[in-house]
Amino acid sequence: MSTGIPSARDERGDWRPSELVALPPIYARPLKLGAVLKWFFGVPGFLWPMNTITLCISLLTWYALTPELGAMKSFEVWWIGLLLARNLALVLAIYGGLHVYLYVFKGQGDQLKFSTKPLAKDNKRFLFSDQVRDNMFRSICFGVPIITAYEALTYWMFANGFIGWVAWAPASVAFWVWFVALLLLAPVIHAMHFYLVHRLLHSRNLYAKVHRIHHLNVEVGPWSGLSMHPVEIALYFSTICVQWLLALHPVNALFQMHIALLNAAVSHTGFDKLIVSGMPIIDSNNYFHYLHHKNFECNYGSTLVPMDKLFGTFHDGSNEAQKAMRARMQERLGGSK
């Protein structure tokens, strides 16, 4: 559906798509099978490219860059250090790579960029008075160790039989059906968990003491995605704990963690789409989350699971949604203007 406004910049330099943010066609009624199949298999779609790329990273990480599970029955510095080093390398490659391409080399210019405002410098709100340095410091010094702690604990529990409680039978049909089902469910689990944690973080006390750090980033760049208070990072990546209850194999848990890791970077690029060789590999859900950074009181989750729609916090980018959000805010403040 068109907003009636072309996808161009206004006088302030702000850009928005000509199409309103919409839910995936799986929620449309009557259900249109062709549209669902195009969304599921298309480019960009549910499977490709983000979830497929993320799964490939997880498989490569597990089979080529992770010690044997039997070696992780006890916590030892060598293998935890190995996980820490490769997680640091992964964050530098993904977050740093996106930042260098989009903001240093300006590989896409301002095409599909939400705002022409630069990332903040000489701003005392940020550590070192620099937004990018602040974001990098928080991502590397807080994010990477917390991610590694979750991962190490997960492998230790698998190695000692505390999780993965159903007897592994990799040759059985039941094993592979559940393994694949969990891979398909992982993005849904992430979307639901993100909404619930995000709403919690917007409660008065947690916002003031924790979540406000992330919201210092009004204009966002890739490093903003992991720039959080340590408590928020721990809550955000606790999505892996769901797999402690469900997963038969560590790859499912690792994939769940990597979905959270890559989504944080990609959804904070500041661009609606990343164009690679003429192909868009980021969908319009980026604008959905950008509206949250811009307006605060909307779009706490993602479009994959319509919890914002269910709880009345959905903002599709229209003027009507903006007015409705302001009305909610006034009501919340007791009608004050």
Q: Does residue 220 contact residue 293 with C-beta atoms inside 8 Å?
A: yes
Return the domain boundaries, the chain.
25-332
pLDDT tens, position by position, 268-309: 999 998 887 776 666 656 899 999 998 888 999 999 999 999
What is the distance between the alpha carbons of residues 226 and 236, in angstroms, rounded to a whole number? 10
Q: Note the pLDDT of residue 43.
A: 83
All residues at 6 or more sequence positions from 190 whose CB lies less than 8 Å from its CB, including other chains: 239, 256, 259, 260, 263
Q: Does residue 190 contact residue 256 with C-beta atoms inside 8 Å?
A: yes
Q: Note the pLDDT of residue 171.
A: 65
Long-range contacts from 135-139, C-beta under 8 angstroms, 24+ separation: 135/217, 135/221, 135/223, 135/224, 135/226, 135/227, 136/223, 138/213, 138/226, 138/227, 138/228, 139/91, 139/95, 139/223, 139/225, 139/226, 139/227
Backbone angles phi, psi at 28, to 5 degrees: -75, 145
Backbone angles phi, psi at 58, to 5 degrees: -65, -45
pLDDT tens, position by position, 56-93: 999 999 999 999 999 999 999 999 999 999 999 999 99
Query: Using only C-alpha atoms, what is the Rg of the chain?
Result: 20
All residues at 6 or more sequence positions from 34 whose CB lies less than 8 Å from its CB, including other chains: none
Q: What is the pLDDT along the chain (337 residues), one digit of tens a residue?
A: 444 344 578 777 788 888 899 999 999 999 999 999 999 998 889 998 899 999 999 999 999 999 999 999 999 999 999 999 999 999 999 999 999 999 999 998 888 899 999 999 999 999 999 999 999 999 999 999 999 999 999 999 999 999 986 665 666 888 889 999 999 999 999 999 999 999 999 999 999 999 999 999 999 999 999 999 999 999 999 999 999 999 989 999 999 999 999 999 999 999 998 887 776 666 656 899 999 998 888 999 999 999 999 999 999 999 899 998 988 888 776 654 4
Q: Note the pLDDT of residue 201.
A: 97
What is the distance between the alpha carbons of residues 298 and 324, in angstroms, rounded to a whole number? 10
Q: Note the pLDDT of residue 337.
A: 44
